[in-house]
Chain A
């Protein structure tokens, strides 16, 4: 068992003992901590570690530290309907469960998983449970997740379920019972993983001290379980996400990264001849299995809801053909209905001859005459809830305690209970026991729910994640939790006498085939990285223009005011780019207003702020491909302090840092190539446009100097031509000089090289259209004579770049899918 023989922990031990004494003093006998068995050192050891971690600081700081760790790991979640992600609320006090107690929980969850598999297989297969009267047909058809098109279909490998979760409550007597089952697309395993990661950064010593069970073997078993059902030996497994706006998108991205799954959206996938493929930059690639986090009803617009835009047309056909594994199989959510709980004890007897090891919350389905009468009679002492999880007419505000209903609400409920009894269940009122959380400078009890996860391994047997995560209610009133609210999460540590071997998901070096290419790059990801590059480059270019305008026309003491004609040209460029409407006049106040608008207005204009927002949105959906520092810069709020020049300066530094990160920190993969392609193409377009604006026959020294500023080539020019401004040398440097990293020639060459380095669809050796276009453009620029740079040549380059952009889109990106950038902004 745990020992305290660690140097320097004496003080921590005293503090922990005092915390426990204070906490348990007010007669909290049923609390999880206070009711621990004698000899169970888990809570004490954990609180000692916490005390040692906190040191002299108030306990409150532990909460902030836990929060910060969670943020660093990138854990976030979204409330449905909100645009912004929220940080994941992590409590610094984990829930401690001794291994002996855990065994009971785990075996109960495994029993449940096996039972669910048997029930689902019967419902979609033989149908004996209904035919023999063990289950009313209406209990099945009432579920919005009963999918009739799947009747008669056996999934490949024979299993419907690969991954389930259950919400458990601990009663005041210490007994665990199941409050809810999650079978459809159980969420939260990623949060359990992230909680553990954050906690091990805080309480690192606890792991070995208490022999805390590790999580990695569970996730490995889950992945192997899916792989075992696939026909190919090295299968490609994808995690199908509903997309960025899903409340647990961050969790899905994290799990995909951790499990080595390809994170895809419906638009990335296509079914051809009953096989599933992902669209990648190297063409269509077979997908063997899908872990879906998409609502099953939206999974296939041909089989289910034809309005679904997040599904894959034909996926159910591929499933029926046995060529793709879908975990969990669509339609399994039928057993999730609250009404199902009423039948589980009986079904366990009928199908497996067993009592349920974990009791389910006692439930009566009112679709049966006797049960309806019983519930109506005992309304005051029961919770009454919708039977199928969807709103019921008599419960406009969701589940309610009979006791809490007003006279009118009660009458309305009873009336609908008479008309549509099948829509209601009565449930016993569950009392939850508590666990400690940090409140102020001490610990306070809060009710909690434990979410447990189980996965099917390669041998077909279930493994339970040791731990899971606890959701902790905001209020001491346990009834709030029954309604499914949870405002804090905590790690769950299963600890025991057996020492735990360190394991991670990393296989040993000898068994791994070495590869330097990270593999499949979905077209959508390439598309996003390409546009991230374009937006960042465009923002940088616009900022450069605004800074020249600010520096020369607004700041009175700069002494370097530009001629009115040059200012006009600059304004025209900004307007042509759509950053802001043309100023009312060229007076200083109007110009200042113009620059402000181009910097931070957002109403439909393509200002720096709008560009930032677009870049950030793309960053969020590409997070599994971007460095954390890059995400932080993309997520940084728009500067609010200082004048326009300060804001522009601060933004410019941010853009430079982003450029530095992408050139120094991104591995030279195809993903990086697309990001850099976007940057190069946008820069080539911007420089071409600037040159077109500032190279006419009437060009002035001011114009040329501005051109050098905008192309960031002032210093190179002065070193080469100390005598001063001249048209041809300036144009040569910014347009044709392949040695100048800001020149058109340099960008075009880089683009051609990138395109040559990307995968081709055929091995016939013939250049693809975008490759040919790039080489053609490269030749035009390379053979142009500096003295002949004129409008027709520049127009030709401009047109060539636009065609190249189209060709890149056609060849590599999704066609027909709704791209993110369509939201409000149009790029030329």
Chain B
């Protein structure tokens, strides 16, 4: 599948912002089954962009400096991405959860793609007793990793209600869990927290869903904004497998990965410092259009 992605973020400031220095992590990464064909970033008003030297997650990062006072800031990111990912099929030969935990602990890989990077609690995803106990029902160590992973994603989809009014961007996994509701970020965080509590290497994935479903299929939840889901490392053979607890499905050809990190803080599409006073308003619009259908 080839997708044209258009992601526009518009900030409005009540008082002109004197100065802004931001990280933009909007350019989708390459990933198994996914290739970035073309990319364009535009910022209005101008400002100065340059590649950032340092990064915490798997992301393309650009620094943006706007030194002139501005009342609005519009960041438009457009990309063409081909995605050709099979739906994983759990198999009796899959490693068990217990085996992948041991393998991750023994990893000799220090890169940002190493499972060792995603074994531990992170600033936004602490380990939580209640979440750990609830998730543990699906995470017996002798269970096959893929089969257990999709079971937990479906359990979350069934038990939690998608509710954009229940949570805010800084709601903790604990709070969202108590409400049994929230949005994709909440579900991904709860699932990651539960998996890490069981000793599993689980990463936070951010990206897009195709906006309109193929004919005859329901529209996926979370398609009109950036989406978040979970990657579970399933051993050296299987590698990272994507699980979407919001929709209770695997990451396949409807998902476009933008960045991978320990949590949202590693890979927020836009973060940084804006000097100014007064209120800030943010508007985001996302469009993910299939360009043509790849023969299945």
Contacts and interface: CB of A to CB of B under 8 A. Distances in A.
Given A133-B108, A148-B112, A302-B63, A816 B132 contact: no
Contacts of B109: 130, 137
A420 B199 contact: yes
Contacts of A136: 105-108, 116
A419 B56 contact: no
A304 B54 CA distance: 9
B93 to A, nearest CB: 23
B7 interface: no
B68 interface: no
B8 interface: no
Interface in A363-409: 367-369, 388, 390, 393
Which residue of B54, B109, B271, B273 has the most chain A CB atoms within 10 A of its CB atom? B54
B104 interface: yes
B82 to A, nearest CB: 29
Nearest to A317: B53
A192 to B, nearest CB: 34
Given A148-B55, A420-B197, A141 B119 contact: yes
A205 interface: no
B120 A142 contact: yes
Interface string B259-293: 00000010010011101110000000000000000
Interface residues of A, number: 41
Contact of A306 (B53, B57, B265): B265
B272 A137 contact: no
B271 A306 contact: yes
A422 B105 contact: yes
A149 interface: yes
Nearest to B277: A816
Nearest to A131: B108
B44 interface: no
A816 B197 contact: no
A644 interface: no
A169 interface: no
A380 B114 CA distance: 35
Contacts of B121: 390
Interface string B36-77: 000000000000000011111100000100000000000000
Contact of A138 (B19, B107, B123, B265): B107
Nearest to B123: A305
A421 interface: yes
Nearest to A124: B110
Nearest to A396: B129
A141 B272 contact: no
B221 interface: no
Nearest to B112: A148
A393 B197 contact: yes
A463 to B, nearest CB: 32
B54 A422 contact: no
A127 B116 CA distance: 14
A131 B110 contact: yes
A577 interface: no
A414 interface: no
Contact of A302 (B107, B127, B273, B277): B273
Interface of B: 18-19, 21, 23, 52-57, 63, 102, 104-110, 112, 114, 116-117, 119-121, 123, 127, 129, 132, 197-199, 265, 268, 271-273, 275-277
30 contacts: A127-B110, A136-B106, A136-B107, A136-B108, A137-B110, A137-B114, A137-B116, A138-B104, A138-B106, A140-B116, A141-B119, A148-B57, A148-B112, A148-B117, A149-B55, A151-B110, A301-B273, A302-B21, A306-B265, A317-B63, A320-B53, A388-B120, A390-B121, A393-B129, A419-B198, A419-B199, A421-B105, A422-B119, A815-B18, A816-B275
Given A130-B108, A314-B21, A320-B54, 8 more contacts: A136-B116, A138-B104, A151-B110, A302-B52, A302-B63, A317-B53, A388-B120, A420-B127
